[in-house]
Structure 1
Amino acid sequence: MSVADAVRAAAERLAATSDTARLDAELLMAHTLGVSRSDMLLRHMRELEPAGFEGLVARRAAREPVAYIVGHQEFFGLDFTVTPDTLIPRGDSETIVQAALDTARPDARVLDMGTGSGALLLAFLDRRPGSSGIGIDACAAALDVAANNCERLGLAGRARFLEASWLEDGWSNDLGRFDLVLCNPPYVEADAELEPDVRAYEPASALFAGPEGLDAYRAIVPQLGKLLLPDSAAVLEIGARQEEAVSAIARESGFSVKLKRDLAGRPRALILT
């Protein structure tokens, strides 16, 4: 079977479980061939199907995310390594980075709370050469992924990654203060209905935050006052129905709040000053 025929057959198979079946098939084939998707489409469609492709399609048919199968995901124009120890960076979260770029000073010192793959921090630093930052996470394996991404993206020396949990007393004692805090915390309700791609594969500790999805905000927001310098800001990702609840938590801690919507018009980021 040719590459073109194999991709077509895989897309038909995946259509029952994926809204992006054709794209999934093309990405998996390109990964199997060891080339980019565009290069595959231009130069390799008449070649014979490579060994191993069918196994990757079977994994995707079982709802494993493509990003975990191929080991990387594009975010804010950069390519990030991802593993099941980290959330997969999503286009919606680019709103957080853009809000930060619109808000923070060019030479900002940045803290990324719950850094995962490092996507938020590293995307910001890539666009702000005068800035530096720290990413914290409670998962040591995630920090290894973030450090690897930092090195691959040529940002070593401008970012460091530390194992820390905002739930533990004294976790920030030696960090100093920051011009910008970024955070995409867990914010999914414990009983929320999620696609199997997410619930079965992405790390639960980075998804769920109590019955209302607000536990992380209640822990994080009251600590921001001692983390932020004067005239600085925090940018928090929120769920589409959490604007009012998280804004109330922020105002109780003395912050002014500004909403930033994503490209679909949904509430996505709160800027706290």
Structure 2
Amino acid sequence: MDFIEVTLKVNADFADIFTAELGELGFNAFEENEEGFSAYIDEAEFSQEAVEEVVNRYAAMVQVEYTIQKIARQNWNEEWEKNFEPLFIGDKVSVRASFHEKPAKAEYDIVINPKMSFGTGHHETTTLMIENQLTLDHQGKRVLDMGCGTGILAIMAGELGASEIVAVEIEDWTVENARENAELNGYATIDVRLGGAETIKGDQPYDIILANINRNVLLEDMPAYVAVLKKEGYLLLSGFYTEDLSMLQERATELGLTYLSHRVKNNWVSAIFKNS
């Protein structure tokens, strides 16, 4: 399957807005650059009319230029290898590709070959989620990663000592990539499932649930998460902006969760809730 790359040249103040808008259209991988960002989507799901509608909606507020090109799946590795730089998160976690050397001082070393999947740690939401994970005891815990992308958060759970890990994604090629990355990091036992919230119905309760998706999906699926979250268990959410936090807090309260804390980076948020 081939992919469509839409590259937007847009003011930095509006880049996050357009990222969120394209995320609602099904774009699931994003790469920032000096003039804006590039977004990626399966060719079968791409609608140029939908992209144009988003751009036109903001035409009175900001000037936007965009280009569209098709990228063959087999060429994706070459694209990310050009731009994927290793990074440190929380002064403890190294995230790198397999062609980078292992750093000497990393407490946790995660190798990610992302292909077309979202979640290399470079996006603010992934970084924030990992920073929040570092604050929770995962040792011997049962962990669920919804919208797992590359599998990076599930792998992080393994690094932190989780005993059972389930990861869920809606795209078959993303499931394949998450499984590859899990095996690459020594966590072939991670149960990577194809589907959405329906795949976790009836599961044994989880101690920790991770969901880095987007506001609308989180609001819709939060009841399904809570249904399989242990009492005193934790729900970590990201994929939304600071202005959306109160909406997520209200929904969480309705479902019996208690808000604990949140982190912010470039207006993106990751929040921690507890099932009390």
Q: Do the structures match in fold with TM over 0.5?
A: yes
CA contact (8 A) 1:138 1:164 kept: yes
Correspondence for 1:82: 114
Runs of 4+ in structure 1 off by over 6 angstroms are none
Correspondence for 1:260 among 259, 262, 265: 262
Structural RMSD (CA): 3.1
Q: Which has the higher strand share?
A: 2
Determine which structure has greater relative contact order: mean sequence separation of CA pairs < 8 Å that are 6+ residues apart, divided by chain length: 1
Q: Does 1:176 align with 2:204?
A: yes
Q: Does 1:223 align with 2:240?
A: no
Return the offset for 1:102: 1.2
One-letter amino acid matched to 1:164: G
Q: Does 1:19 align with 2:52?
A: no
Greater alpha carbon shift after TM alignment, 137-146 vs 234-243: 234-243
CA contact (8 A) 1:117 1:145 kept: yes
CA contact (8 A) 1:139 1:163 kept: yes
Q: Does 1:69 align with 2:100?
A: no
Return the offset for 1:86: 3.6
Q: Which has the higher helix share?
A: 1
**2: CA distance between counterparts of 1:268 and 1:135?**
21
Correspondence for 2:130: 97
Structure 1, unaligned stretches of length 5 or more? Answer: 1-16, 21-61, 188-213
**2: CA distance between counterparts of 1:89 and 1:70?**
13
The residue correspondences of 1:121-160 to structure 2 (distance < 5 A) are 121-126=154-159, 128-157=160-189, 159-160=190-191
The higher radius of gyration belongs to 1
Cα deviation code 1:35-59 (max 9, x no counterpart): xxxxxxxxxxxxxxxxxxxxxxxxx
Q: Does 1:115 align with 2:148?
A: yes
Structure 2, unaligned stretches of length 5 or more? Answer: 1-31, 36-68, 88-92, 97-111
CA contact (8 A) 2:157 2:165 kept: no
CA contact (8 A) 1:101 1:124 kept: no
**2: CA distance between counterparts of 1:172 and 1:131?**
18
How many percent of aligned residue pairs carry the same amino acid? Answer: 15
Return the offset for 1:258: 2.4
Cα deviation code 1:115-172 (max 9, x no counterpart): 111011112322x135330101111110100011011112223x12011212x4xx32
In the superposition, the TM-score normalised over structure 2's length comes to 0.58
Correspondence for 1:233: 234
Greater alpha carbon shift after TM alignment, 248-257 vs 92-101: 92-101
How many equivalent pairs are there? Answer: 185
One-letter amino acid matched to 1:69: E
- Provide the secondary structure at the position in 1 that maps to 2:135: helix
Correspondence for 1:192: none
